[in-house]
Structure 1
Amino acid sequence: MISISKLYCGGTAESDGLRYGHGGQGPAVSAGAPPASKTAAERRPVTVWNVTRTCNLRCIHCYTDSEAKKYGGELTTEEGKALIRDLAGFQIPALLFSGGEPLARPDLFDLVACARSLGVRPTLSTNGTLITDETARQIKDAGFTYVGISLDGIGEVNDRFRGVGGAFDRAVRGFKACVAVGQRVGLRLTLTRHNFANLHGIFDFIEREQIDRACFYHLVYSGRGGQIAGDDLSREETRQALDIILERTEDFHRRGLNKEILTVDNHVDGIYLYMKLLAKDPARAEKVLRLLTWNGGGMYSSGVGIADIDFLGNVHADQFWMHHSFGSVRERPFSEIWTDTADPLMAGLKNRRAKIKGRCAPGICKWFDACGGAMRVRADLVYSDPWAPEPACYLTDEEIGFTPEKQKLVRARGEDFPMPEFSRPPRTAPPRISDIPPSISCTGGTEA
């Protein structure tokens, strides 16, 4: 995660410590003098638990390929509580209840109560459509520290993206219900060509609905997301999207609106932010670069600072690595699986500096220490090699210091991976709703 509001505007937020504190206190961090960091093996991951695969929507980018049906094999209530006890003993910083749609799981609040009783910080990732006034009060009373509601556009844009008509209106109801009971709630949006033209409208929505937090995710090509890789933003469009996010976040800050704005799943954003800030405030930019470098970018993400447990109990490096399991919590405790580096992928993720290749490699990309090679799962999905360059890097060769001499060295190593451009050339007009695949229905679905 890249906190735009903190790094670009100097704001603060409750969750900044998870990204820039590593357990240290604010003054040392804000002064640009980070405290000693833990090793990859010592860190405990924010853990995503997909408590169910069932979902009442059918989003075109869903990494779990969920639908409105019952899937067999979910961890039982007792298995879930045993898992939570292990996670509490392992001292994870937070447990994110996700899905599918987690509110479709009948025992969700029993599981959350177990987590709270053991001192585990629970958060919720939901599509928001099942949140009524009564449900919002249940969520608040259960002790969720944060609720993230996915919204991928305004009105029909969201509904086509989500595969069910009326999803936007019901998600808005969910936002309003959470705000009304004082539940901390945020918006989650995945950037694609389907919603690129909606960005300003999304920021207007955030202000109008008094939403405290928004996370803008880069597309990861897993699950159904792989079917829309061609609708990812072009490199130029990604830069334009970041410009809008920076501009609107700065506007919030200037007007005294305390909004936490973040981008997620592409650590290149931190470098782009730094380069933008360098032109307007060089002294602050250097402090930001120190923070980014200390935080390590992708070096401490998947397999280190983030983990996933799917609805069957399989453990993954993050929620997008569903194609690779390290083991099942039905057979071994999560804490044991997570610290076992016998699996080459787990070992590599905990020591990726020695693994990453091509234009992303240390000594090749001048920003490696701050970016850390970004998202390894995207490299694996595109090249079938988790150590290949980040295919969604939108910085130029010149910007990363990839000189002709370094290019020659990379070719000599056999690491000259072609950088794909999934998207068509940038549009001259905003994307139209008709461009979304007609196979995605705007009707149907259930409230299951």
Structure 2
Amino acid sequence: MRPSTIDTNQRPFVLVWELTQACELACKHCRAEAQPQRHPDELTTEEGKRLLEEANEFGENQLVVLSGGDPLYRDDTFDLIEYGVEQGLQMTLTPSGTASLTPDRIQALADSGLRRLALSIDGATPDAHDGFRKEAGSFRQTVEAARAANEAGLPLQINTTVCAETVEQLPQLRELVADLDAVLWSVFFLVPVGRGQVLDPVPPERADRVMEWLTAVNSAADFGIKTTEAPHYRRVAIQQRRSATDKPDSDAIGRRTGITAGDGFAFVSHTGEMYPSGFLPKPAGNVRTDSLVDLYRDSPLFEELRDPDALKGKCGACEFRNVCGGSRSRAYATTGDPLESDPLCPYVPEGYDGPLPEQSPAD
């Protein structure tokens, strides 16, 4: 099925299930504020299998991302991947870059039918990455895991956080992404939630310059690029008369750009809470008691987030709201209202004279 035929009112492009918040790392930006111990109320294996069965009700080839914490902290992760594949789901995984991610485990992931392995690299050198991740050796272990994924024939995605601490390293990271033969570079613009509240974001004007650079990289690189929590990447690309979807099918999953929290994206927490995104922790319900499909399609929160005319401030007045819409997660984190303007975007629509995000009474 072509991504352009999917109605995001009926199904998400991406469904993320946070298997656990347990993790060996203590990364500076961690949304989950991960810790070494697993939560006693995590979804059980059987509850997880029911969740995967429900995910299949969205339609064929539903993309499911198993995340954490470190999803490999659970001893049933391989069984869940195999069960999801049996259900007809496209299963992907975002493990932590630790010593536990051995070549044998990566080969076993490939053998289980996993479609994509996503690894995070936030610094172009061991010192920079390990300092950000607060774990000596994490850079080496992550690069070794990336090489092992290549050896196993497992498509590789690299995730990178963009904030004041990492932005200068993006050109070097671009070279590393190419060297690791990644199929996709997912560039995440910091949202101040969890431990990320202590980090400094890039200023809005700098964010736009980064996105201009990313559009140029996207046109020239052999790998695809997507931004996370920065949908105005599409506005920047349109203004540059380039397409932010130059290579929509190059990442082997068929993901297209244009998804935002609650509109093409959904998140299930380790305890079953259903959120529009892990970075927008406002629950619509719980999959233990409510239908996953119904929560996505019919909950008032999700319906509102899919209505560009419900947006407020300059995002609501913007002519790009149907292709961008701003980060609803960042709006929620900074104002408490997921429909307010995204403070990372510097663009002001022509003729707009209302309040700007930094002038909001909630700031």
**TM-score computed with the length of structure 2 as normaliser:** 0.89
- 1:52: which partner in 2? 20
- 1:261: which partner in 2? 225
Letter in 2 for 1:137: Q
- CA–CA separation in structure 2 for the residues paired with 1:191 and 1:156: 17
1:356 aligns with 2:311: yes
Name the % identity.
Answer: 25
- 1:325: which partner in 2? 283
- CA–CA separation in structure 2 for the residues paired with 1:120 and 1:57: 29
1:221-241 deviation per Cα after TM superposition (whole angstroms, max 9, x unaligned): 22112232xx10012322332
- 1:365: which partner in 2? 318
The change in CA–CA distance for 1:58 and 1:120 in structure 2 (over 3 A counts) is same
Q: Which has the higher contact order (CA 8 A, sep 6+)?
A: 1
CA contact (8 A) 1:378 1:390 kept: yes
Q: Shift of the alpha carbon at 1:327?
A: 1.6
- 1:305: which partner in 2? 264
1:276 aligns with 2:240: yes
Q: Which residue, 89, 94, 103 being the options, matches 2:63?
A: 94
CA contact (8 A) 1:271 1:367 kept: yes
1:53-94 deviation per Cα after TM superposition (whole angstroms, max 9, x unaligned): 101111111111112223221111111111111111232721
1:262-321 deviation per Cα after TM superposition (whole angstroms, max 9, x unaligned): 2222111111112223xxxxxx66998xxxxxx9976x5322311110111111111112
1:72 aligns with 2:44: no
- 1:314: which partner in 2? 273
- CA–CA separation in structure 1 for the residues paired with 2:96 and 2:185: 14
- CA–CA separation in structure 1 for the residues paired with 2:141 and 2:340: 41
Q: Which residue, 154, 158, 162 being the options, matches 2:133?
A: 162
Q: Which residue, 340, 356, 361 being the options, matches 1:388?
A: 340
- CA–CA separation in structure 1 for the residues paired with 2:161 and 2:346: 17
Secondary structure of 1:188's aligned partner: strand
Considering only CA atoms, is the larger Rg found in Structure 1 or Structure 2?
1
Letter in 2 for 1:170: Q
1:119 aligns with 2:88: yes
CA contact (8 A) 1:115 1:121 kept: yes
Q: Which residue, 79, 99, 103 being the options, matches 2:72?
A: 103
1:29-70 deviation per Cα after TM superposition (whole angstroms, max 9, x unaligned): xxxxxxxxx3x5333452100001101111111111112223
- 1:6: which partner in 2? none
- CA–CA separation in structure 2 for the residues paired with 1:48 and 1:193: 27
Mapping of 1:184-203 within 5 angstroms? 184-203=155-174
Q: Which residue, 45, 49, 57 being the options, matches 1:81?
A: 49
Superposition RMSD on alpha carbons, in Å?
2.5
Q: Which residue, 232, 235, 239 being the options, matches 2:204?
A: 235
The change in CA–CA distance for 1:287 and 1:376 in structure 2 (over 3 A counts) is closer
- 1:134: which partner in 2? 104
CA contact (8 A) 1:191 1:218 kept: yes
Letter in 1 for 2:214: I
Letter in 2 for 1:308: F
CA contact (8 A) 2:280 2:332 kept: no
- 1:177: which partner in 2? 148
CA contact (8 A) 1:296 1:369 kept: no
CA contact (8 A) 2:186 2:226 kept: yes
- CA–CA separation in structure 1 for the residues paired with 2:245 and 2:46: 47
Letter in 2 for 1:113: E
Q: Shift of the alpha carbon at 1:186?
A: 1.3
Secondary structure of 2:344's aligned partner: coil
Q: Which one has the bigger helix percentage? A: 1
CA contact (8 A) 2:212 2:236 kept: no
CA contact (8 A) 1:46 1:307 kept: yes
- CA–CA separation in structure 1 for the residues paired with 2:318 and 2:244: 18
Q: Which runs of 5+ in 2 are unaligned?
A: 247-254
1:339 aligns with 2:297: yes
- CA–CA separation in structure 1 for the residues paired with 2:245 and 2:13: 26
- CA–CA separation in structure 2 for the residues paired with 1:153 and 1:106: 30
1:151-209 deviation per Cα after TM superposition (whole angstroms, max 9, x unaligned): 11121111111111111111011101101111101110010111111111111212222
- CA–CA separation in structure 2 for the residues paired with 1:68 and 1:100: 9
Task: After superposing the two structures, state which structure 1 stretch, 159-168 or 63-72, moved more.
Answer: 63-72
CA contact (8 A) 2:11 2:264 kept: yes
The change in CA–CA distance for 1:251 and 1:340 in structure 2 (over 3 A counts) is closer
**TM-score computed with the length of structure 1 as normaliser:** 0.73
The change in CA–CA distance for 1:275 and 1:309 in structure 2 (over 3 A counts) is same
Mapping of 1:26-65 within 5 angstroms? 38=7, 40-65=8-33
- CA–CA separation in structure 1 for the residues paired with 2:294 and 2:35: 32
CA contact (8 A) 1:221 1:378 kept: yes
- CA–CA separation in structure 1 for the residues paired with 2:144 and 2:333: 36
- 1:430: which partner in 2? none
Letter in 2 for 1:64: A
May I ask how many residue pairs the two structures share in their alignment? 349
Letter in 2 for 1:22: T
CA contact (8 A) 2:103 2:148 kept: yes
Secondary structure of 2:94's aligned partner: strand
CA contact (8 A) 1:327 1:337 kept: yes
Letter in 1 for 2:92: T
